[in-house]
Structure 1
Amino acid sequence: MAARFFDEMLDWQDGVAAAIHAGESLPAGAVRGHYKQFADWLARQSEGTMDNKRAEADLIFRRVGITFAVYGEKPPDQIYNNAQYRPEMLGIDVPRDIYAHVAGIDVVRAGEGEFYVLEDNLRVPSGVSYMLENRKMMMRLFPDLFARNRVAPVAHYPDLLLDMLRGVSPQNIADPTVVVLTPGMYNSAYFEHAFLAQQMGVELVEGSDLFVQDDHLYMRTTQGPQRIDVIYRRVDDDFLDPLVFRSDSTLGAAGLLSVYRAGNVTICNAIGTGVADDKSIYPYVPDMIRFYLGEEAILNNVPTYMCRRPDDLQYVLDHMGELVVKETHGAGGYGMLVGPAATRAEIDTFREVVRARPEQYIAQPTLALSTCPTYVESGIAPRHIDLRPFVLSGRDVRMVPGGLTRVALREGSLVVNSSQGGGTKDTWVLER
């Protein structure tokens, strides 16, 4: 019998599968309560209507450009040998002692009330433009749905983001200058950088627009140099300052770290936060919460095997066909093996890779990610999803009631990353 996944809309009681297969009405109680109005609406939509709406959405998204290009106690060595560790940050007092100003937390549901944090994104988390544009698109195409449901708004996210950025300016500057630093138009997420800058009403800058003088950072403008107080950076650490990191980088500003060290600029997120979202750190997060906060984590971690440990390594090598194996520094769905979906040859090849460099891999059981009704070429069908809410940390911690729902569009796939062909959905939080 095929595995039954938790379905966000349907309670798969007796007779549901047969009714769907026969195109008949669902039994009473088959639709979960909070989905009832949506399910009634969906049942009235013709295939032609849905095809037309999808084509219209595709056309608008292409026109505006809202697509990403496809391109406890912690062992000290896992910090010092981490690819994201930045010893240059030693001795720097980070403004207001906040390191991760913007966090994207990937959450999955594996059963009724069974939620897990899949990973933390703390360097330059992306995808919030999808959240905002998906909502605008849904309201444009299906206004009747929003008239029937009290859906909490998300459009104020740029206002919350700007308020947070202004609130973390160094030295309590009353009217700080905030900029968004982008690698440029050839970056896969450039639309998001430009979109957020436009929505916040701040300048979008590149490295060539910036210069350092007397331990302050400036941007060139038609009215002359203007001092910058807060950088919302969408550039990786290695490219921020060619005097300290990669000497060939033109994406940052020479001398930026000296400005940061002097306390004259806030960089969001702080340099070095990549250590905290490295997959080798993930298993220790509940211990860190317990140690620093004296609390238990509200959401569970996925049980994790650390291949650097001999016993864990042996288990992973023996059970690789049952596990999801991930490279600790990997991102975007790369450098991983989903054992149940892999061929014998792929498993054998990956086993040798892990055996050669065990310290660079972790493994986890294959979670039965929940599914959500998704309009695909064959019609409405369940597809696996995860949720990325965005958390803003400044003078306080805030988030909008929503997030980015990512969808594995290929049937049976558990990989939701956009770089691997995944899609996104509008996410509703219903107000009572």
Structure 2
Amino acid sequence: MTNIWDNYPCQDFYDEVISSPGNARKPAKKLVSYFKNLSDETIDFHRKAAESTIKQMGVSFTVYSDEGNIDRAWPFDIMPRTISKTQWDKTAEGLRQRLKALNMFIDDLYHDQNIIKDGIVPSYVLEQSANFRKECIGVNPPLGVWAHICGTDLVRDSDGEFYVLEDNLRVPSGVSYMLENRAITKRILPELFEEVNIARVDDYCPNLFEMLVALSPRKISKPVVVVLTPGIFNSAYFEHAFLAQQMGCELVEGADLVVQDDDCVYMKTIAGLERVDVIYRRIDDLFIDPEVFNEDSQLGVAGLMRAWQKGNVGLANAPGAGVADDKVIYAFVPDIIRYYLKEEPLIKNVETYLCYDDEQREYVINNIEKLVVKPANESGGYGMLVGPHSTKKERDKFVQLIKENPRNYIAQPTLALSTSPTFVGKNELEPRHLDLRPFVLQGKSIYVTMGGLTRVAMKKGSLVVNSSQGGGSKDTWIVE
């Protein structure tokens, strides 16, 4: 029987599982030992069992392409990624700190804008923000919280420490895949869960529901909570349906809801109209209400903003929360934490260059082949340039884009993203780069998932982990 670890390469990157050739990191010792004793046939059996389970459970995602929308089975690697609970507890505390400060920042922007007046964040940054909604000025959402659900992207550099790569505060997705990854792993590797003390993740949906209920304007025993989806052609529709089912909520589209003359939201049912208290909306701001934003939108509900502004319905995330989901604002988050909380940030940002600054822009243009350049408000890995993997034509194009609209671009060093052993070919293990998206909920209290969604760049040497661009995923173990 071949030991799958024998040929695992030594490398310059921080590896999540292997500390040095032949040696596992402490949280991964039982995992490594378990796979060491498996035959090729058994590993192959587990991999096929995972594929079969994914198909049976209907775990899928949609890729947008020139040929149309393609529905694909969820790409999953059976080798989990391990993190020590001691390190995770510190990281989780940093995530709580970060979301608390970001919500105070958003609330300030829609009220007194003290952080602008005090010169901590330049007024120019806010004036050019694509996601600042003037319709939200003066609104007081329940509990003073705007971003109730946050998906924060973390990376590990060569020092083994976590850094925040970006904050996702508009309509963060991926948590259903985190939960399904665990369900798949439990089904195919049940014996490991008896041997290893792995933190649970299945408390997310109860915590999500509790947070949503806390937003209800009516203090009744059973507020009506719904999940608002754009529909079956949305790339995250699987997640919308999954979360609604797990919480016991109705999954609705815009046409299923109506705002009446009393400025309350109602759901159409076979028994008539039923008042809705809270909407977990998975639709971007500009499409939620054709009366206020995009008048051609068929996805939203006419009058929804009016109902929310008058406090008759809770919305998560609140409209306008995306003002902090901006890669330029991201660069100021350490100062935002110091300003509102009078604390030092517990998790560091990745070093960031702001292209609207003349000196920093000059540096970016002169060193673009070394940097990752990102637009301020894109997501999913789209519209970015990875300098070391780019052509001269691509770099010249981005230099022109930066010059035309410097406010819309930031740049960061190309990180030595950590790796984890991943099965490729016929049961061979190779290191692949990855990131981590934990999910943070803020209502009456702040909850952080135990780990999160690990996304893997399945192509050798690639730093792009997004599933829509060929990335895969792993179960994430927080281990005592």
Specify the TM-score bucket, using the shorter chain as the normaliser. over 0.9
1:196 and 2:189 are equivalent in the alignment: no
Using the alignment, how far apart are the partners of 1:190 and 1:85 within structure 2? 26
Give ranges in structure 1 of 5+ residues lacking alignment: 17-25
Map Cα deviations across residues 209-259 of structure 1 (whole Å, 9 max, x no partner): 000111100000111111011101101101110000011112111001110
**1:259-408 alignment runs, 5 A limit:** 259-377=307-425, 379-408=428-457
Using the alignment, how far apart are the partners of 2:39 and 2:159 within structure 1? 31
> What is the aligned-residue identity percentage?
53
Indicate the SS of the match to 1:312: helix
Counterpart contact for 1:220–1:226, Cα < 8 Å:
yes
The letter for the 2-side match of 1:425 is K
**1:129-208 alignment runs, 5 A limit:** 129-208=176-255
Q: Give the one of 275, 287, 294 matched to 1:227.
A: 275
Indicate the SS of the match to 1:259: helix
The letter for the 1-side match of 2:57 is V
1:42 and 2:50 are equivalent in the alignment: no
Q: Give the one of 47, 52, 55 matched to 1:59.
A: 52
Q: CA deviation at 1:74?
A: 1.6
Using the alignment, how far apart are the partners of 1:48 and 1:414 within structure 2? 31
Give ranges in structure 2 of 5+ residues lacking alignment: 1-9, 65-114
Counterpart contact for 1:82–1:275, Cα < 8 Å:
yes
Counterpart contact for 1:168–1:395, Cα < 8 Å:
no
Indicate the SS of the match to 2:477: coil
TM superposition outliers: structure 1 runs of 4+ over 6 Å: none
Q: CA deviation at 1:400?
A: 2.8
RMSD over equivalenced CA pairs, Å: 1.5
1:424 alignment partner in structure 2: 473
Indicate the SS of the match to 1:118: strand
The letter for the 1-side match of 2:141 is V
Map Cα deviations across residues 156-182 of structure 1 (whole Å, 9 max, x no partner): 211111111112212544421100000
The letter for the 2-side match of 1:314 is E
Using the alignment, how far apart are the partners of 1:343 and 1:56 within structure 2? 41
The letter for the 2-side match of 1:416 is V
Using the alignment, how far apart are the partners of 1:276 and 1:98 within structure 2? 13
Bigger mean CA deviation after superposition, 142-151 or 240-249: 142-151
Map Cα deviations across residues 93-143 of structure 1 (whole Å, 9 max, x no partner): 212211011111111111344221000011111000111100000010111
Using the alignment, how far apart are the partners of 2:422 and 2:38 within structure 1? 14
1:106 and 2:153 are equivalent in the alignment: yes
**TM-score normalised to the size of structure 1?**
0.93
Using the alignment, how far apart are the partners of 1:204 and 1:93 within structure 2? 26
Q: Give the one of 18, 27, 30 matched to 1:10.
A: 18
Counterpart contact for 2:435–2:456, Cα < 8 Å:
yes
Using the alignment, how far apart are the partners of 2:298 and 2:394 within structure 1? 39
1:82 and 2:129 are equivalent in the alignment: yes
Q: CA deviation at 1:3?
A: 6.5
The letter for the 2-side match of 1:251 is L
Bigger mean CA deviation after superposition, 226-235 or 104-113: 104-113
Paired residues, what number? 415
Counterpart contact for 1:31–1:39, Cα < 8 Å:
yes
Q: CA deviation at 1:417?
A: 1.2
1:125 and 2:178 are equivalent in the alignment: no
